[in-house]
Structure 1
Amino acid sequence: PVKVWVFDVAQNSQDRELLENYQKQNSNFKFEYVDPQARPGLTEKFGVKDYGEVYLESGKKRQLVQVINVNDRLSEIRLTNSLQQITSTSTAKVYFLQGHGERSLSPGEGAISQAVQALGNKSYTTAQLNLVEKSTVPSDANVVVVAGPKRELFTTEVKALQTYLNQGGNLVLMIDQGTDPKLDSLLKEWGVKLDNRLAVDVSGNVALGPAVPIVTDYGEHPITKDFGNGISFYRLARPVDTTPIPGIEATKLLLTKPYPNTWAESDLNSENLEFNQGKDLKGPLTLGVALKRKLPAATKATPTPSKPSASESRMVVLGDSDFATDGSFTQQLNGDVFLNSVSWASQQDSQPLSIRPKEPKNRRINLSASQAGILALSSLLILPLIGFAVAVILWWLRR
């Protein structure tokens, strides 16, 4: 059982309708509006400081969802994330590899701070990982994310990641075109090869340009199962090739449009984009794959409270990291591709893998005094006169 406490005098109809919809889905969901001044004991219990504070309570656990006001209404995203956090019995740990020019976790140009924040909203704990300082991946790691390394990893770091995978670990690799992090030996074991050519899309999208392939075709996989024909885009991406390997199940996730709309360009210095037979690769191109491999019984990792015993290793390989950077992350399905990849790779199968709910847009019209006067005049005088005139004409014709 969970209960939402809204500490406010006014009851907004939009907020109340949202809460009633939650209640219709599950009878264990309750909500109540409270006047902070009328119930000072309850107000003190929750530590309410201002009108509009919304709290979620489950057993002995309480947490602030948000503060609502005239401009900021109750958010379905925040409420759902809070429900997920307060009812979760375990917290998954996501480590981001650092030290090779990877995307920064703090706000800044080319950072992935929005992606990190979104993981926090889904009850994930995030931390940085430097495998030069630590020779092994921490035992509490549910998944390790390698987001856009610009420099090569040391051999010892690659071996640490391989050992982690062999013991039931999980990786999300986002490797940009034009970089070589020296992960070939690890990827070869899984039948994956990163193509050095640039994926181009000449289908005519002026806003994004030919170096930003648009994807609307997705593989049948838990990561992308609810995407339909939704849009995601990948700036300066590279194709990802796969070769069948016994014991490894590989699924193509992101597929570009077929040739002649897309191809992998080998001549990156030419200003005229044209397909060259024998050098370039015809579309559709694969920009992302999901892989999993069963573990032998003897190599299964020792379970911990935060990381149950794994029976398989999982890996997601994406030929781009720009799609998850601040700004791009919130566009179309880009954020969903990243979040679902991490959720699936971390083997948190109880986590919902789907499209995040979108916030309703403010569609109110702000009229000036003169516009409001014209609208009132037309509705109260002009339109009735037109209707009266039409009625007189019809009467005259029938007479």
Structure 2
Amino acid sequence: MEGMRKLWYRTNFALQVLLMAGILGVIAAFAIAHNLRFDLTKTKRYTLSPQSSKVLKELKDPVKAIAFYQEGGSEWKAAKELLEQYRYYSDKFSYELVDPDKRPAVAKEYEIASYGTIVIECKGRTEKIFNLSEEELTNAIVRATRKGKKKVLFVKGHGEHDLEDFQRSGYSMVKRALEDQNYEVKPLVLLREGEVPRGTAVLVLAGPKKDLLPKEIEAIKRYLEDGGKLLALVDPPTVKNVKAFLKEYGLLLQDDIIIDRVSRVLGGDYLIPVVSLYEPHPITKDFRLASFFPLAQSISLQKEPPKGVELVPLAKTAPQSWGEVDRRRLKEKGEASFEEGKDHKGPLIVAAVATKKVGGKRKARIVLFGDSDFATNAHFGISGNGDLFLNAVSWLAEEEELIAIRPRPTNFTPLFLSRSEARWLFWLCVVVLPGGVAAAGAITAIRRWKR
């Protein structure tokens, strides 16, 4: 009888173990088939941005990332963590981590010269990035999956900023940043060409110092009426025919100089307004960085826009700013004071967007900035200046996916305990809980032994 009882207990125990193993197996199989993740961090550190998730969910062709890092290092682990997030959002995305020291043939095949290089492959097209970040990785995927390069042409011949100029006033950093996003960037002499070339994704007018000829203005108008996209960066004082041309689209340049006392408080120049007020728009979506506009003029929007034109303010200065109309006094004496009824009271629009329907589903787009110096080599890397410029180009080129993604901050939230709380926590975790489990196990073992 005693033997039968022991056999029964053992059989019952074995069945319980098998049942538990079966339940765990079913749970594991379900978890593999239906992979779910929950990010409980305050800043959603382990969740990709909406831009990245949208790009991944819309992938039509397989994309593979090959990341070259030293195995076991902190960068290897960080790369694996980020790439795993990308794979979670799309079954068309895969990745491979390669140690170039252990697999030199693979490194040679992809012409890898340093650790930290990530190669993105899609249907024979490759893109390389050298900085591990969500922004870099997502934009590389967009570039690798994009068919061909889009043209961004800069109008030349009227004193505009030079793309090949590496000095402070040049636009060489703009050119490099656009080329890094796989755009084809070239100057355009409109007087010689006569027309904006077909296939131009974005036309840029970057700080003209002299009037454009009527033939050039007409060429730009024809380009826009055909659904073209224009980025105009116009400094005060405005050249007359450019001002008149933009007025036809409801954009009014004020020919003033923006004075901003907030800049002085922040240790800057009152002639460099700080902009941190952004209106809702794809260009400024989730954009929280301040931008700086040296010697900028304000923009106003026509109360009754021309037919078919939609006007949207994009960025505004602080309420304490104003637009100084008396530029001569400011230039000769260095003096400025707000005069009610004469000067323009803040907040002032420093960037605006005009969209016009031109037939069917086509739309002409214009983004106007009352300053061109914010994108020069001297200021492109300051705060959000470069990102704002690139966002504008991406929206004009109808490639919102390439809009900048800012890294999420890593919040440090320490838990402070008093001495008594620390003592209680020690006894609870080190003594009470383990002791309770050990006591329960001992009691159960003794009861079974007595049976």
Q: Which residue, 270, 273, 295 being the options, matches 2:358? A: 295
Q: Please say if 1:161 is aligned against 2:220.
A: yes
Q: For 1:199, what is the secondary structure of its paired residue? A: strand
Change (3 A) 1:51 1:221: closer
- Contact 2:143–2:181 (Cα < 8 Å) also in 1: yes
1:336 aligns with 2:387: yes
Q: Aligned to 1:325, which of 376, 380, 397?
A: 376
Query: Within the alignment, does 1:18 sit opposite 2:79 as a pair?
Result: yes
Aligned counterparts of 1:22 and 1:47: Cα–Cα separation in 2: 21
Q: What SS does the corresponding residue of 1:26 show, helix, strand or coil?
A: helix
Is 1:272 matched up with 2:335?
Answer: yes
Q: TM-score, normalised by structure 2?
A: 0.69
Corresponding residue of 2:311: 250
Determine if the alignment matches structure 1 residue 101 to structure 2 residue 162: no
Shift of 1:23: 2.0
Moved beyond 6 Å, runs of 4+: none
The aligned amino acid for 1:328 is: H
Alpha-carbon distance in structure 1 between the residues aligned to 2:139 and 2:247: 38
2:269 aligned to 205, 209, 213, which one? Answer: 209
CA positional deviation for 1:17? 1.8
Q: How many residues align?
A: 340
Give the structure with the larger helix fraction: 2
* Distance in structure 1 (CA, Å) of the matches to 2:267 and 2:175: 27
Unpaired runs of at least 5, structure 2: 1-61, 411-418, 420-451
Which residue is equivalent to 2:197?
A: 138
Match of 1:384 in 2: none
Does 1:226 pair with 2:276? no
Tell me whether 1:117 sits opposite 2:176 in the alignment: yes
Give the Å deviation of 1:4: 2.8
The structural deviation recorded for 1:187 is 1.2
The question of whether the paired residues in 2 share the 8 Å contact of 1:256 and 1:285 is answered with yes
Q: Structure 1 residues 37, 22: closer, same or farther in 2, change over 3 A?
A: closer
Q: CA deviation at 1:9?
A: 4.4
SS of aligned partner of 2:265: coil
**TM-fit CA distance, 1:248:** 0.6
Question: What is the CA–CA distance in structure 1 between the aligned matches of 2:115 and 2:286, rounded to whole Å?
Answer: 38
Which residue type is aligned with residue 168 of structure 2?
Answer: E
Q: Which has the larger radius of gyration?
A: 2
Q: 1:80 to 1:355 in 2, by over 3 A?
A: closer
Which residue of structure 2 aligns with residue 395 of structure 1?
A: none
Q: Distance in 2 between matches of 1:118 and 1:356?
A: 16
Q: Does the aligned pair in 1 maintain the 2:135–2:404 contact within 8 Å?
A: no
Please state if 1:83 is matched with 2:147. Answer: no
The residue type equivalent to 1:225 in the other structure is K
Contact kept in structure 2, 1:323 and 1:329, CA below 8 Å: yes
Structure 1 residue 212, shift from structure 2 partner: 0.9
Amino acid at match of 1:281: H
Matched-pair contact (CA < 8 Å) for 1:82–1:121: no
TM-score by length of 1: 0.78
From the superposition, tell whether residues 170 and 50 of structure 1 become closer, same or farther in structure 2 (CA, over 3 Å). Answer: closer
Q: 1:35: Cα distance to partner?
A: 4.3
Percent of aligned positions with the same letter in both sequences? 34
**1:117-139 Cα deviation digits (max 9, x unpaired):** 22122222111111011000000
1:221 CA displacement: 1.2
Choose 319-328 or 1-10, whichever is displaced more.
Answer: 1-10
Letter aligned with residue 207 of structure 2: G
